Structure 1
């Protein structure tokens, strides 16, 4: 099943993509409600569709969900090697990376849908990141905290393509403060074109539970990078399980795989090449990400937005009394 949200002449629709048509959920349900009901209910609803919907070509696809929260992991060793050199000036992978799948939280309020241009900050190193994202749903008898890997697999409702846009110069400055990324990342994240339910991709799971689908990145139709998602350090359910440790994962949460290797972003290639080649993204560039079994997500780089000025930190006396 493919599940999507769309704009039809100013009206938002939510439902299934069936062949070349979009069809609303029975009963007027939303994507958020279906995620909370779980994959079994989604299948039940799909069997009861009677509306013929409208042609996919006649609507504008939106981001397939409004995430409850977004965690983005860094689960590909090859990506870490390259970006560490290109952004942080060191080519080694920290020993701590191998101990557990690390992630950061990002902004659910700047999600972009398919074809929606990104408006970056002023940056000299604009980059993309090719990722697969897990969309969490409900599963019978499974809670939200301290999940095992098997329990986590059961709450994987489906997958979508993710582009974690990045301003690498801002990110590099922020990471030196031992916190971040922040403004180097939170200006935009693209998701889409739809959610493909987990059962559709079961044939791509290898013997160790990794999702062996091919992922490709193009800039202006030129192939920049390609990788198998199964080259990540942990299978996707283990990312969900780790996120739930002493915490909660809930329906509507989105968890990014992290950027694939072998050119899944420009930052990795800059680190390996020792130079800004290929060049950073500029206004008018079109980034197209293709993931086997899931779909294609494209967006154009829009003009940079200059934010209001912010003064430097003030030098204070550090007095302990007024």
Structure 2
């Protein structure tokens, strides 16, 4: 099953629908995608059957505006589950790798209010000249749970989507010198979409810790990143088990795996040079693709004015 949250032209009200063969079969406006996924796989199947049998509306996919599948998640956690990305990006930021990485996964909380749709423009973070994309996959929680064991974690995944936590590397580097963060360096925008793809759709591609699915990114039509989901070090089962320790994950929570190896400019520039891989500027167009999940396409727009703080010097 492929689920989309969308708006029809002239309507401000979002609808949720099942995507099939270029057509969206919408559920009534009282139902959100969180409602659909909260009851697990059986609930999704029943909602899909209802959408096909008695659609509230039927629309062509190319005639609507796609929103993020979960436009306002209850929470967003983003991990660093791909070892290649962790090692290279930490070196680029001047931060040593830590042996704890191989004992437990690590994440930061992102901003649910900054979620963007799969084709929305993305503003450069205020004050940043080192703006970057991140090529990621994310799981969305369906059935709630706490203190989940890795062998039961799959039961709590509703499906998967593409994620990019747009990153102001210069802001991030300054923040992390305090041994805290990232915070404002990743606070401006996070793109999600285009669909929420149910687990059964990906089952034929399953491998040891992930799925054998290519991941790629381009800037202005030039290929930048190329990786594969199968290279993940920490599985989503482990990420969910760790995230649920001592707390409850609820329907709609987003669990990002972090960037795939070579899946951002900071890595590419460190290996191949910043002249070959410069940071993003206004009017750049970034496209992120994961096989079976679709693509995110975002135009980069100018930053809003950086408003100075009242105390910028020591007194």
Q: Give the TM-score taking structure 1 as reference length.
A: 0.91
Deviates more, 1:126-135 or 1:4-13: 4-13
Contact 2:15 2:28 (C-alpha < 8 Å) held by counterparts: no
Alpha-carbon distance in 2 for matches of 1:256, 1:277: 28
Q: Within the alignment, does 1:202 sit opposite 2:170 as a pair?
A: no
Residues 84-119 of structure 1 show CA distances to partners (whole Å, capped at 9, x for unaligned) of 122x225x5321111111000010001000211111
The unaligned stretches of length 5 or more in structure 2 are: none
User: What residue is the counterpart of 2:114 in the other structure?
Assistant: 110
Cα RMSD (Å): 1.7
TM-superposed CA distance for 1:276, in Å, is 5.6
Q: Give the TM-score taking structure 2 as reference length.
A: 0.93
The number of aligned residues is 308
TM-superposed CA distance for 1:282, in Å, is 0.3
- 1:3 to 1:54, Cα distance in 2 relative to 1, 3 A: same
TM-superposed CA distance for 1:277, in Å, is 3.8
Contact 1:162 1:192 (C-alpha < 8 Å) held by counterparts: yes
User: What residue is the counterpart of 2:4 in the other structure?
Assistant: 4
Q: Within the alignment, does 1:67 sit opposite 2:73 as a pair?
A: yes
Residues 157-214 of structure 1 show CA distances to partners (whole Å, capped at 9, x for unaligned) of 10000011000000000000111111110100000001001111111111x2422211
Alpha-carbon distance in 2 for matches of 1:275, 1:289: 20
Contact 1:145 1:249 (C-alpha < 8 Å) held by counterparts: yes
Deviates more, 1:156-165 or 1:27-36: 27-36
Contact 2:115 2:190 (C-alpha < 8 Å) held by counterparts: yes
Q: 3-state DSSP class of the match of 2:184? A: coil
User: What residue is the counterpart of 2:60 in the other structure?
Assistant: 55
Spell out the pairing of 1:297-312 with structure 2 (5 A cutoff): 297-312=296-311
Spell out the pairing of 1:1-322 with structure 2 (5 A cutoff): 1-8=1-8, 9-10=10-11, 11-25=13-27, 28-48=30-50, 49-50=52-53, 51=55, 53-65=58-70, 66-86=72-92, 88-90=93-95, 92-120=96-124, 121-138=126-143, 144-206=145-207, 208-261=208-261, 263-273=262-272, 275=274, 277-312=276-311, 315=314
TM-superposed CA distance for 1:273, in Å, is 3.5
Q: 3-state DSSP class of the match of 1:308? A: coil
Q: 3-state DSSP class of the match of 2:287? A: strand
- 1:96 to 1:244, Cα distance in 2 relative to 1, 3 A: same
Alpha-carbon distance in 2 for matches of 1:184, 1:26: 38
The unaligned stretches of length 5 or more in structure 1 are: 317-322
Residues 101-158 of structure 1 show CA distances to partners (whole Å, capped at 9, x for unaligned) of 10000100010002111112221100000000001001xxxx6111011221111110
Residues 225-260 of structure 1 show CA distances to partners (whole Å, capped at 9, x for unaligned) of 111111111111211111001122111100101000
TM-superposed CA distance for 1:221, in Å, is 1.1
TM-superposed CA distance for 1:315, in Å, is 5.0
Alpha-carbon distance in 1 for matches of 2:37, 2:84: 33
Residues 271-302 of structure 1 show CA distances to partners (whole Å, capped at 9, x for unaligned) of 22454640000000011000011111110101
Q: 3-state DSSP class of the match of 1:47? A: helix
